[in-house]
Amino acid sequence: MSFKDNYTHRPQRLIGEALMNSAALYPTKTAIIVNNTTYTYRQLKTDATKLARALIERGIEPGDRVAIYMENSWACAVSIYGASIAGAVFLVINPQTKANKLQYILNDSGAKALITNIKLQKELQEACQDVKELNNVIITGDNPTLILNDSLIIENFKDVLRHAGSYDKINLPHIIPNDLASLIYTSGSTGFPKGVMMIQQSMVFTTWSLIEYLRITNEDRIILVLPLGFDYGLYQLLMSVASGASLIIEPSFIFLGNIYKQVEEKNATIFPGVPTTYAMMVASYKRKPFSLEGIKKVTNTAAALSPDHIPILKKIFPNALIFKMYGLTECKRVSYLEPELLDEKIKSVGKAIPGTEAFILTIDGKEAKPNESGILHVRGPHVMVGYWNQEEKSKKMLLTSKLPWERVLCTHDLFKMDEEGFLYFLGRRDDIIKTRGEKVSPLEIENVLIQLEGVKESAVVGIPDEIQGQIVKAFVSIQEGIHLTKKEVRKFCNAHLESFMVPEKIVFLDELPKSANRKVNKKKLMEDDQQ
C-alpha cells in the first residue's frame, strides 16, 4: 500500500484512503471538533500517518491487532486511522468496559499494541496483569506514570507522535480490500463479547452505502454522542471522513442541555442516536418544549424507533428528515426507511440498504409470503466474514446460500415483509415469550406501554412459570412529576393488548439500566430484580 497526496480521482478501496482523499481535497477544512478545539483534515492525516509509522517501527505488521481503549477524543480518531494505515486490525473498546472484560478482549484478539488514556488506569492495572500478546502501551494524558507489568513498554502518545517521522519516509505495508480491517466486539449482553470480523472492502462498501441513502455531503456536520467503540458511533467517523464532512465529538450524553448547546453553537446538521437517546429527549421536551432547528437529518439504529416518539421528534427537529433504520453489528446496517415515507410506513424499518438484499424465510426454510412472519436473512458485501476464534458460532450466523461461494447472514430476528417489500421488525426470536400456549413479542408490549402518558421507557421480559410456561413482566420508568399505579398500567394494557399479553408483573424504576451503548440492559434488569 502506498499513499500519495494526489487522491482526488482515485476510488477508495481501503479505510485509510478516505483520509488521504479528503486531506488532498480539503486540507484546511474542519475534520473534527472536540472540546471546542478544531482540527483540520491536514492535521488528521499528519497525526494518523505519524502514528502509523510509529506502530510499524514498534513491530506492528499487517494483520496484527491494535486495541484502542479510550473516550471519544481526537486521539481516538487519530488512532483508528493510524492503525488502519499501518495495515493493522483495529478494535475500539468502549471506555466503560471493566477490567475483566477488557482483559478478555485483549487476550481474545491477541492485541499486540494498546492505545489508551491515563484516566483509565484503574481498569488497565487490573486487566494488564495477565495479557498474552500485548507488547506496547501508548497512553494519552499528561505525564503518565502508569506501571502495568514488567513486560510492557509504556510510552506517551504525544511523545510517540513527536518523535515519529512523516509517513512518506517509510514503506507502508501492502494490504488489499480482502484483508481484515477491524474486530468489532458485540456488547456482550450474554456472556463475554464476540469479535465481529470485518474486512476492508466490507467497511468501505458499507460506509458509502450509508453516505448514499443518508444523503451526506461535505457540507454536513455530524454530532457524535455515541461511543466510537459502538459500531454506530464508529461509522459516524468513517462516513464523515469519507465524505469530507465535519464531526463534532461529544464525550458524553449525560448532560442534555450541553448537547443542545453544542448542536446550536457548532451548527450541527446530522443527529445520530439510539432509541434511549430519543426517549430522553422526548421526556425532556414534555417537561419543557424546545427545538433544534439546524438539524437536517436524524438517524436511529439499535432497536426500532417507537412510532409514538416520532410526532414529538418532529417538533424537536422541525427541519429534519427522520431516518428509521434497523441493523446489527454482523452487517452494520440492514435496512432504512426513506424519510418521505415516515407517515405512510411509520411502523416499518424500510428496505435493504443500497447494494444489498434482505429476505425472510419461515422457520422451515421456505420463502415467506407477504405479511407472513419469519427469520430475516441478509446478503451483501457488508456481511461479516465471521466471529474471531468462534467457528461454531460463525456457522450459526452465516448460512449456505443458493450461490455456492456465498454465505448469507441469518439475523435470527423475526420480521415480516408487506406486499411492497417493506420490512417490519417483530422481535428477537430468542426474546419471544411463550405464555399460555401463545407467542408474545416483548417489543409489541413495549410499544404499547410507551404510549401511556407518563411512561418514559419500558422493558418487557418473560419469567419462567410452572403452569403458564412464562409470564410477562414489565419494567417501567416514569417521567419526573408523574404518578402511575400498577392498576392504571394494566388497565391501559388491557385496552390495547390481547389478554395473554398484558403484564402480570410490573416493576417501577427511576431509570432502566443501560449498556455502554445506551441500550436497555435486560440482563442486568433481571439480575438486579433477583437481588
Beta strands in 86-189 (DSSP E): 89-93, 113-117, 136-140, 153-156, 180-185
* Predicted local confidence at residue 169, as pLDDT: 55
* Predicted local confidence at residue 433, as pLDDT: 85
Of 507, 517, 519, 439, nearest to 475 by C-alpha is 507
What is the C-alpha separation between 67 and 91, in angstroms, rounded?
Answer: 5
Evaluate whether 298 touches 323 at the Cβ level (below 8 Å): yes
* Predicted local confidence at residue 29, as pLDDT: 98
Centre a 10 Å sphere on the Cβ of residue 223 and count the other Cβ atoms it contains: 25
Helix count (H) and strand count (E) of the chain?
A: 15, 27
Q: What's the predicted TM-score (pTM) here?
A: 0.85
Cβ burial, residue 251 (10 Å; 0-12/13-18/19+): middle
* Predicted local confidence at residue 399, as pLDDT: 96
* Predicted local confidence at residue 186, as pLDDT: 81
* Predicted local confidence at residue 188, as pLDDT: 41
* Predicted local confidence at residue 302, as pLDDT: 64
What is the C-alpha separation between 158 and 51, in angstroms, rounded?
Answer: 10
CA 118 from centroid of its chain's CA atoms: 25
What is the C-alpha separation between 362 and 364, in angstroms, rounded?
Answer: 5
* Predicted local confidence at residue 4, as pLDDT: 43
- Residue corresponding to grid cell 484478539: 109
What does the block give as the cell for 17?
484512503
What's the chain's Rg over C-alpha atoms? 23
What is the C-alpha separation between 106 and 119, in angstroms, rounded?
Answer: 18
* Predicted local confidence at residue 443, as pLDDT: 83
Centre a 10 Å sphere on the Cβ of residue 182 and count the other Cβ atoms it contains: 27
* Predicted local confidence at residue 427, as pLDDT: 78
* Predicted local confidence at residue 12, as pLDDT: 94
* Predicted local confidence at residue 111, as pLDDT: 98
Q: Which domains does the chain have, with CATH numbers?
A: 15-200 (3.40.50.980), 253-427 (3.40.50.12780), 436-529 (3.30.300.30)
* Predicted local confidence at residue 307, as pLDDT: 81
Residue by residue, pLDDT tens for the chain (531 residues) are 344 444 455 789 999 999 999 999 999 999 999 989 999 999 999 999 999 999 999 999 999 999 999 999 999 999 999 999 999 999 999 888 888 889 999 999 999 999 999 999 989 999 999 999 999 999 998 765 666 777 898 999 999 999 987 555 556 789 999 999 999 998 543 457 899 999 999 999 999 999 999 999 999 999 999 889 989 999 999 999 999 999 999 876 666 788 899 999 999 999 998 877 888 889 889 999 999 999 999 998 766 677 888 999 999 999 999 999 998 899 999 999 999 999 999 999 999 999 999 999 998 899 999 999 999 999 999 999 999 999 999 999 999 998 989 999 999 999 999 999 999 988 776 777 878 767 678 888 998 899 999 999 999 998 887 667 789 999 999 998 899 999 999 999 988 887 888 999 999 998 999 877 777 888 788 877 765
Q: What is the DSSP letter of 383?
A: S
